[in-house]
């Protein structure tokens, strides 16, 4: 499944939509500290936004910034009618309470869909904004005409940004959902039941073909940088290739879809006014 290509199509559509409707979507992007991976993602987001006609207002704050200063910046953007979306890149330095920051962002401007109010709406199948990675996965599956309804979906990982919201989205799509994690016993026995397997563990190439049944759909969320500088997922792509019916590559799979969904949600917010 080619996420890079679909993401490109979506970004082109968004660009047309922005131009046709005379929108000027504005996204505040806040990066704290100098984690190299975070800097790459933020740069990718800024570049994608610019091409679509979304204006970003960027803040790169030192890791030593106080929690109060960060909160004040968020409050300022909450009140600013010209800003449609606020994104605070995670992870934050240990000195800052991530939950507190996530809660401070106005739910109406929560383009990441991480606010508990928005997660609650999602959980009750009345979503307002959605976490971008799980939303991107749903769009990718839909594009390839893979309908989760009635399917056995197994998710490996239960983070707030991927595994948990993914489970809610799949349940909303009428899948039968199993969520596994580091305490799961007999993981392979669970994952082999999957019609659709979604892996988000942060463990490089952890799952090989022995973890899936023939013809499974495999979505690899992982982005792991190896010592030689190469980028690999949480599944062993080569091993799965002959056995899976559909498989997402890393890079070029879920990652670009995440960014496309962030752009889409920013445009949606601007349209709502
Ligand atoms: N492509 C994209 O757009 C995105 C990619 N990512 C990537 O996805 C991966 C996961 O990210 P994220 O969800 O934030 O990670 P977290 O570290 O927050 O969560 C990892 C999850 O995997 C589980 N896990 C870890 N090891 C194992 C194991 N050996 N067996 C079973 N479960 C295990 C953990 O279990 P437990 O809860 O018990 O600790 C946890 O629930 C990373 O590689 C990250 O870089 C993340 C976000 C977006
Ligand atoms: N507030 C917040 N929102 C996020 O959505 C968020 C976050 N914090 N923190 C970190 C994770 C991770 N994440 C990725 C986004 C794009 C790629 C991506 O574009 N990956 C490319 C490769 C990029 C590269 O070359 O490094 C690909 O897979 O093809 C990866 C990972 C968003 N996250
Ligand atoms: Mg963290």
Distance between Cα 261 and ligand 2 center (Å): 12
Check pocket membership of 250 for ligand 2, CB cut-off 6 A: yes
Instruction: Pick 236 or 37 by higher pLDDT.
Output: 236
The pLDDT assigned to 88 comes to 97
Cα(163)–Cα(70) distance, rounded to whole angstroms? 27
Check pocket membership of 147 for ligand 1, CB cut-off 6 A: no
Q: Could you tell which of 110, 258, 261 is best to mutate to test the pocket of ligand 2, judged by most ligand atoms within 8 Å of the CB?
A: 258
Q: Which of 169, 203, 164 is nearest to 187 (CA)?
A: 203
Ligand nearest to the CA of 91: 3
Q: Is pLDDT of 77 > 90?
A: yes
Atom 12 of ligand 1, nearest CA residue:
159
Q: What is the average per-residue pLDDT within 84-112?
A: 97
Check pocket membership of 163 for ligand 1, CB cut-off 6 A: yes
Atom 48 of ligand 1, nearest CA residue:
133
Atom 11 of ligand 2, nearest CA residue:
90
Helices and strands, number each (H, E), in the chain: 10, 10
The pLDDT assigned to 14 comes to 98
Among residues of the chain, what percentage have pLDDT more than 90?
98
The pLDDT assigned to 16 comes to 98
Q: What mean pLDDT is reported for the chain?
A: 97
Alpha carbon 222 to its chain's center: 11
Per-chain residues with Cβ under 5 A from ion ligand 3: 91
Residues designated as active site = 45, 89, 112
Confidence grade of residue 105 (pLDDT, cut at 50, 70, 90) = very high
Q: Domains for the chain: give ranges and CATH numbers.
A: 19-107 (3.40.50.10860), 132-255 (3.40.50.720)
The string of pLDDT tens digits covering residues 210-237 is 999 999 999 999 999 999 999 999 999 9
Q: What is the average per-residue pLDDT within 115-123?
A: 98
Distance between Cα 16 and ligand 1 center (Å): 35
The string of pLDDT tens digits covering residues 186-216 is 999 999 999 999 999 999 999 999 999 999 9
Distance between Cα 28 and ligand 1 center (Å): 26
Check pocket membership of 252 for ligand 2, CB cut-off 6 A: yes
Tokens at 182, concatenated: 């580091």
Q: Is pLDDT of 33 > 80?
A: yes
Confidence grade of residue 162 (pLDDT, cut at 50, 70, 90) = very high
Half-sphere exposure of 14 (CA within 13 A, CB side): 28
The pLDDT assigned to 80 comes to 98
Q: What is the average per-residue pLDDT within 45-74?
A: 96
Distance between Cα 92 and ligand 3 center (Å): 7
Contacts from 182-191 at CB under 8 Å and sequence distance 24+? Answer: 187/156, 187/211, 190/154, 191/154, 191/156
The pLDDT assigned to 126 comes to 98
Confidence grade of residue 273 (pLDDT, cut at 50, 70, 90) = confident
């Amino acid at each position: 499944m080619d996420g890079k290509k679909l993401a490109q199509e979506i970004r082109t559509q968004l660009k047309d939509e922005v131009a046709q409707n005379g929108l000027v979507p504005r996204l505040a992007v806040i990066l704290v500290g100098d984690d190299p991976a975070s800097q790459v993602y933020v740069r990718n987001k800024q570049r994608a936004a610019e091409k679509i006609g979304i204006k970003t207002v960027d803040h790169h704050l030192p890791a030593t910034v106080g929690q109060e200063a960060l909160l004040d910046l968020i409050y300022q953007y909450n009140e600013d009618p010209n800003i449609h979306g606020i994104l605070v890149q995670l992870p934050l330095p240990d000195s800052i309470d991530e939950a507190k920051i996530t809660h401070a962002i106005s739910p109406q401007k929560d383009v990441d869909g991480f606010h508990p109010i928005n997660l609650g709406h999602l959980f009750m199948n009345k979503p307002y904004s959605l976490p971008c990675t799980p939303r991107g996965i749903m769009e990718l599956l839909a594009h390839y005409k893979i309908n989760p309804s009635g399917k056995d979906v197994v998710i490996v990982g239960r983070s707030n940004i991927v595994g948990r919201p993914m489970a809610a989205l799949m349940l909303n799509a009428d899948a039968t959902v199993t969520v596994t994690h580091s305490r799961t016993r007999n993981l392979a026995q669970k994952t082999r039941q999957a019609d659709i397997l979604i892996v988000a563990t942060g463990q490089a190439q952890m799952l090989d073909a022995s973890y899936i049944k023939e013809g499974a759909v495999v979505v690899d969320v992982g982005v792991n940088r190896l010592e030689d500088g190469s980028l690999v997922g949480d599944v062993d792509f080569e091993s799965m290739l002959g056995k899976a019916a559909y498989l997402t590559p890393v890079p070029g799979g879920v990652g670009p879809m995440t960014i496309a969904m962030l752009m889409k949600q920013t445009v949606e917010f601007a349209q709502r006014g």
